[in-house]
């Protein structure tokens, strides 16, 4: 009897092991799931107002992933700041190029794709979880975003850059196969724009639907509830292990109104400066991948603040982020570049969100480079780079400018420059 039971048990275990191995092989070899593609008949009128609004939205929703540091267009890049557990990720070319970009897509295809996450040109393949989906964003905001993508703005200029295939991890594939991540249903009716005079409603819309602030500021991407953000684990309590451009861990902050572990003791003005300018109350830079919201209007920032201050306070103590070490013998400029946080966006070698390696050619004079650092919006009106005027002394600006001029320059060139 005992032998019979053991034999049955071994058979069951064997079947389970074979099933697990088979499942692993299937998920590993298969791509992402496919779904039916719905035809959406819509023609979006491209107006100056929509292009301007779409440019603002792209600056906050699309550019930091799709902006290629070499072409300065939305031609895609390797996402060093994407969680390694999801695989080796490359963002796509979304310029107007007809072959490598979205130049041949119809307005309806773009709208269906942005709302559902189903790719209309790859047999309905589900787009990976790192690409946001926008089922609750208003029609007008998405129309504006698409109008911008259709425009003659420099960021979307047709760029002949072939897409590099992403290599998703087993975890990414498994999460899409078991339903942890999946497409959204296309709305059955129009999605109205929120009441922008109701600060709570408008703030919730921006934080949860438009910009998905909860996605980074909750506990983990894997436990987020994109169908109902309020049910995400650690909702706005932070601790999500994000990455900067050097693939160094940056834990998202607890931005609930908890007075000890959150932002409950921040004044309204301190929170406003943090959101719009990118600096904490102590004057330190808020590290990338948190983006400042400079392109938002003041009332939009105030609406975000109203909502953020209303979420339940969580006593989540987020680990401190490990500081970058300053090498022995570092110049004054390199020391500032590291300690002030430039390294989190621009990388250890100057190739990050923007390519600084040829800055010495583009801005050859020290005074010009100093002014670019102090007043970046003067040169790039929609930049997410913080303004360092009145935050760095003239000597500090000079030191950083000198160091930036040396990034990517050979030792012989450095000697000649000195």
**Segment 347-377, tens digit of pLDDT:** 998 888 888 888 888 899 999 999 999 999 9
CA distances from 375 to 178, 243, 302 (A): 48, 27, 24
Q: Tokens representing 29?
A: 């070899």
Most confident range, picked from 77-86, 220-229, 349-358: 220-229
Q: Helix axis angle, 170-177 relative to 2-29, nearest 10°?
A: 100
Structural Rg of the chain based on CA atoms: 24
Most confident range, picked from 17-26, 60-69, 306-315, 353-362: 306-315
Burial of residue 106, with CB atoms counted within 10 A of its CB: 0-12 exposed, 13-18 middle, 19 or more buried: middle
pLDDT confidence of residue 360: 87
Residue 185 confidence (pLDDT) above 80? yes
Instruction: State whether residue 167 is helix, strand or coil.
Output: strand
Which of the 8 DSSP states describes residue 85?
G
Q: Tokens representing 203?
A: 């703030």
Average pLDDT in the 274-291 region? 93
Mean confidence (pLDDT) of the chain: 90
Share of the chain above pLDDT 70, in %: 90
Instruction: State whether residue 377 is helix, strand or coil.
Output: helix
CA distance 80 to 248: 9
Residue 54 confidence (pLDDT) above 80? yes
CA distance 414 to 194: 55
Residue 261 confidence (pLDDT) above 90? yes
pLDDT confidence of residue 116: 97
> Length of the chain in residues, anyone?
418
Strand pairing report for 249-251 and 241-243: antiparallel
pLDDT confidence of residue 82: 83
| pLDDT tier for residue 412 given thresholds of 50, 70 and 90 | very low
Residue 418 confidence (pLDDT) above 50? no
pLDDT digits 0-9 by tens, 201-220: 999 999 999 999 999 999 99
Residue 411 confidence (pLDDT) above 50? no
361 vs 279: which has the higher pLDDT: 279
């Amino acid at each position: 009897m005992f032998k019979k039971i053991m034999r049955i048990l071994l058979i069951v275990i064997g079947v389970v092991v074979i099933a697990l191995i088979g499942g692993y092989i299937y998920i590993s070899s298969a791509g992402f799931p496919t779904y039916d593609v719905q035809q959406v008949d819509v023609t979006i009128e491209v107006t100056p107002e929509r292009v301007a609004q779409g440019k603002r939205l792209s600056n906050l929703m699309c550019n930091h992933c799709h902006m290629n540091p070499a072409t300065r267009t939305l031609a895609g890049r390797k996402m060093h700041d994407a969680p390694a557990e999801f695989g080796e990720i490359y963002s796509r070319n979304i310029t107007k190029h007809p072959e490598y970009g979205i130049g041949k897509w119809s307005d309806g295809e773009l709208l269906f794709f942005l709302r559902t996450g189903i790719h209309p040109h790859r047999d309905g393949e589900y787009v990976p979880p790192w690409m946001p989906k926008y089922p609750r964003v208003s029609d007008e905001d998405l129309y504006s975003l698409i109008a911008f993508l259709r425009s003659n703005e420099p960021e979307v200029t047709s760029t002949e850059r072939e897409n590099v295939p992403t290599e998703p991890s087993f975890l990414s594939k498994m999460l899409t196969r078991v339903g942890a991540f999946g497409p959204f249903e296309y709305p059955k009716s129009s999605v109205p724009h929120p009441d922008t005079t109701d600060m709570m409603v408008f703030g919730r819309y921006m934080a949860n639907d438009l910009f998905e602030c909860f996605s980074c500021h909750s506990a983990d991407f894997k436990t987020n509830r994109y169908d109902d953000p309020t049910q995400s684990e650690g909702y706005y309590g932070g601790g999500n292990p994000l990455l900067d451009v050097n693939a160094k861990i940056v834990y998202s902050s607890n931005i609930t109104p908890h007075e000890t572990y959150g932002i409950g003791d921040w004044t309204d003005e301190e929170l406003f400066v943090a959101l719009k300018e990118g600096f904490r109350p102590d004057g330190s830079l808020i590290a990338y991948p948190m983006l400042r919201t400079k392109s938002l209007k003041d009332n939009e920032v105030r609406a975000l603040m109203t909502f953020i201050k209303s979420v339940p306070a969580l006593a989540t103590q987020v680990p401190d982020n490990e500081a970058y070490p300053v090498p022995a013998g570092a110049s004054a400029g390199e020391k500032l570049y590291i300690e002030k946080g430039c390294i989190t966006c621009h990388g250890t070698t100057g190739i990050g969100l923007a390519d600084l390696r040829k800055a010495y050619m583009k801005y050859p004079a020290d005074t010009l480079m100093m002014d670019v650092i102090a007043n970046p919006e003067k040169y790039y009106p929609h930049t997410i780079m913080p303004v360092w005027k009145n935050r760095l002394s003239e000597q500090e600006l000079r030191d950083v400018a000198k160091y930036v001029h040396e990034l990517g320059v050979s030792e012989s060139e450095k000697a000649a420059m000195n």
